[in-house]
C-alpha cells in the first residue's frame, strides 16, 4: 500500500502544456513513452478507472506534477487556446513579436528557434489563423508552426507539380513575396507576376518598392533615401533579379501567380487614385500614369 501511495505522489516532469493525439489509452501511453515521459503500463491501468485522456492540448499547470495529478489532468485539464493570425505579406520578424506578445513568450528565444529550425531565412510560414495553447514553449511553438506550414506547402506542390522540391518551391516563394507586397488584390497578382518575368527577360532591374519592406521594415514607407542607401540584397533598385530569399510570408494565391504568370507585355505599373494599378508596356505611358496618380 505504501509503495502504491509513493507511486501516486512521485513527481513527473512534463512541459506546462502537452499535445495528446487521438487514440486508445495504450496508444496514448505509447506516445508519451516515445517522448520520454515517465509513464508505464501501470498508468494505463489507472487511466481505465480515471477516464480516457483528452486529445489536443492539455494544461499541466506546472512542469512538475505528482503522478496522480498528472493522470487526472490528462482527462480533465484542457489548455486555453489563443488565436494568432499571420496575414499574407507579413514578415517573420513582425510575426514572431506578435506571437511573443500574445502568448507571453520571449521574442529573442523565438527568433533563435526560428533560425535553428527554419529551412529558409524568410517565407517558411503559411499565413493563416492558428490556435496556440497558452503555456507552449518557444521551441515547440516554432516546431508546430513550421510543421503545419510545411505540410500545407507540400500538399499544394504535389497538387501542382506532382512532387515537392524544397529548393525549387522556395524559389517560387521568393518571387511570390514580391508579388504579395506589390499587388493591390488577388486579381492583380498574375499580372504583377508577368511584369516581374518580363523585366527579368529583358535584363531590367525590378525596381519594386515592396522588396524593401523586409524584416523590421515591413510597414515602413519606402523613400528615395531608403532606395539609395539600403545596400541589402533585397534592394531591387540596386540588384538585378529576385532577392535570394523571400521578402515576407505569402498566400497561396501569390505562389500560384508566381508559378502561372499572366501572358502580357507589361513592364510597368503605377497605383492610381482607386487603390489599384495601371499597367503599361512602355515608359512614356508609365510616366503619364505617374502624373495622373500624383495630381
Residues 22-49 have pLDDT tens digits of 888 888 878 878 888 778 778 787 777 7
- Note the pLDDT of residue 134: 86
- Note the pLDDT of residue 7: 57
Residues ≥6 apart with Cβ < 8 Å to 25: 44, 47, 48, 52, 53
> Are residues 136 and 215 part of one domain?
no
Burial class (CB in 10 A: 0-12, 13-18, 19+), 9: exposed
> Are residues 94 and 26 part of one domain?
no
Identify which of 164, 141, 143, 140 has the alpha carbon closest to the alpha carbon of residue 152: 164
74 pLDDT above the threshold of 90: no
Stated pTM of the model: 0.84
> Are residues 200 and 285 part of one domain?
yes
Mean pLDDT across the stretch 101-107? 94
Mean pLDDT across the stretch 128-134? 92
Which residue range is the domain that position 134 belongs to? Answer: 81-161
Neighbour-count burial for 40-69, b at 16+ CB within 10 Å, e otherwise: eeebbebbeeeeebbeebbbbeeeebebbb
> Are residues 149 and 184 part of one domain?
no
Mean pLDDT across the stretch 139-155? 96
> Are residues 147 and 103 part of one domain?
yes
Q: Which grid coordinates belong to 201?
A: 527577360
141 pLDDT above the threshold of 90: yes
Mean pLDDT across the stretch 43-62? 77
Q: Which grid coordinates belong to 46?
A: 489507472
Q: What's the domain count of the chain?
A: 3
Distance CA 210, CA 207 (A): 9
66 pLDDT above the threshold of 90: no
- Note the pLDDT of residue 271: 93
- Note the pLDDT of residue 43: 75
- Using the 3D structure, point to which of 161, 181, 196 is the last residue of a domain: 161
On whether the CB atoms of residues 50 and 25 are closer than 8 A, the answer is no
Taking CA atoms, 182 is separated from 35, 218, 247, in Å, by: 44, 12, 11
- Using the 3D structure, point to which of 145, 161, 177 is the last residue of a domain: 161
> Are residues 283 and 262 part of one domain?
yes
DSSP symbol at 162? S
- Using the 3D structure, point to which of 161, 176, 193 is the last residue of a domain: 161
> Are residues 283 and 247 part of one domain?
yes
- Note the pLDDT of residue 28: 80
- Note the pLDDT of residue 5: 62
Mean pLDDT across the stretch 239-265? 97
> Are residues 85 and 58 part of one domain?
no
Mean pLDDT across the stretch 113-126? 98
- 6 band by pLDDT with thresholds 50, 70 and 90: low
1 pLDDT above the threshold of 60: no
- Note the pLDDT of residue 172: 98
Q: What is the pLDDT of residues 168-222, one digit of tens each?
A: 999 999 999 999 999 999 999 999 999 999 999 999 999 999 999 999 999 999 9
> Are residues 268 and 208 part of one domain?
yes
pLDDT: which is higher, 150 or 16: 150
Mean pLDDT across the stretch 90-115? 96
> Are residues 108 and 44 part of one domain?
no
164 pLDDT above the threshold of 90: yes
> Are residues 44 and 18 part of one domain?
yes
Taking CA atoms, 23 is separated from 28, 32, 52, 60, in Å, by: 6, 12, 9, 20
- Note the pLDDT of residue 69: 80
On whether the CB atoms of residues 190 and 161 are closer than 8 A, the answer is no
pLDDT: which is higher, 261 or 77: 261
135 pLDDT above the threshold of 90: no
> Are residues 29 and 117 part of one domain?
no
pLDDT: which is higher, 68 or 143: 143
Amino acid at each position: 500500500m505504501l509503495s502504491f501511495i509513493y507511486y501516486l505522489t512521485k513527481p513527473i516532469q512534463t512541459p506546462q502544456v502537452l499535445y495528446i493525439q487521438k487514440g486508445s489509452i495504450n496508444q496514448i501511453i505509447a506516445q508519451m513513452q516515445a517522448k520520454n515521459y515517465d509513464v508505464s503500463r501501470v498508468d494505463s491501468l489507472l487511466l481505465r478507472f480515471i477516464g480516457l485522456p483528452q486529445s489536443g492540448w492539455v494544461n499541466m499547470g506546472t512542469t512538475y506534477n505528482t503522478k496522480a495529478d498528472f493522470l487526472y489532468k490528462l482527462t480533465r485539464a484542457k489548455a486555453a487556446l489563443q488565436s494568432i493570425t499571420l496575414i499574407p505579406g507579413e514578415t517573420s520578424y513582425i510575426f514572431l513579436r506578435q506571437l511573443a506578445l500574445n502568448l507571453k513568450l520571449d521574442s529573442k528565444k523565438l527568433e533563435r528557434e526560428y533560425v535553428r529550425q527554419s529551412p529558409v531565412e524568410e517565407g517558411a510560414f503559411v499565413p493563416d489563423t492558428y490556435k496556440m495553447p497558452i503555456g507552449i514553449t518557444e521551441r515547440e511553438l516554432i516546431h508546430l508552426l513550421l510543421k503545419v506550414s510545411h505540410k500545407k506547402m507540400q500538399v499544394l506542390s504535389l497538387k501542382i507539380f506532382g512532387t515537392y522540391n524544397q529548393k525549387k518551391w522556395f524559389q517560387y516563394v521568393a518571387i511570390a513575396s514580391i508579388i504579395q507586397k506589390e499587388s493591390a488584390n488577388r486579381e492583380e497578382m498574375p499580372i504583377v507576376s508577368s511584369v516581374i518575368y518580363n523585366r527579368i527577360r529583358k535584363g531590367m532591374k525590378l525596381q519594386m518598392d515592396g522588396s524593401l519592406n523586409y524584416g523590421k521594415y515591413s510597414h515602413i514607407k519606402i523613400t528615395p533615401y531608403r532606395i539609395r542607401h539600403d545596400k541589402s540584397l533585397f534592394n531591387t533598385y540596386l540588384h538585378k533579379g529576385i532577392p535570394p530569399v523571400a521578402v515576407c510570408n505569402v498566400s497561396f494565391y501569390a505562389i500560384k501567380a508566381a508559378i502561372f504568370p499572366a501572358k502580357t507585355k507589361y513592364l510597368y505599373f503605377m497605383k492610381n487614385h482607386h487603390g489599384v494599378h495601371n499597367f503599361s508596356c512602355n515608359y512614356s505611358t508609365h510616366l503619364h500614369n505617374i502624373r495622373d496618380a500624383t495630381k
